[in-house]
Amino acid sequence: MDIFLLPVANPDGYVYTHTQNRLWRKTRSQNPGSPCIGVDPNRNWNASFAGGGASGDPCSEIYHGPHANSEVEVKSVVDFIQKHGNFKGFIDLHSYSQLLMYPYGYTTKKAPDADELDKVARRAAKALASLSGTQYRVGSTSTTVYPASGSSVDWAYDNGIKYAFTFELRDTGHYGFLLPANQIIPTAEETWLGLKTIMEHVRDHLY
168 is catalytic: yes
- Of 61, 73, 116, 168, the active-site residue reads 168
Contacts (Cβ under 8 Å, ≥6 apart) of 55: 43, 61, 62, 63, 64
- Burial classification of residue 91, based on how many CB atoms lie within 10 Å of its CB (0-12 exposed, 13-18 middle, 19 or more buried): buried
The C-alpha atoms of residue 64 and residue 159 are separated, in whole angstroms, by 20
Find out whether 101 and 165 touch, Cβ atoms under 8 Å: yes
DSSP 55: B
Describe the strand order of the beta sheet including 163-169 as a list of residue ranges: 89-95, 163-169, 99-102, 137-140
Catalytic residue numbers?
A: 168
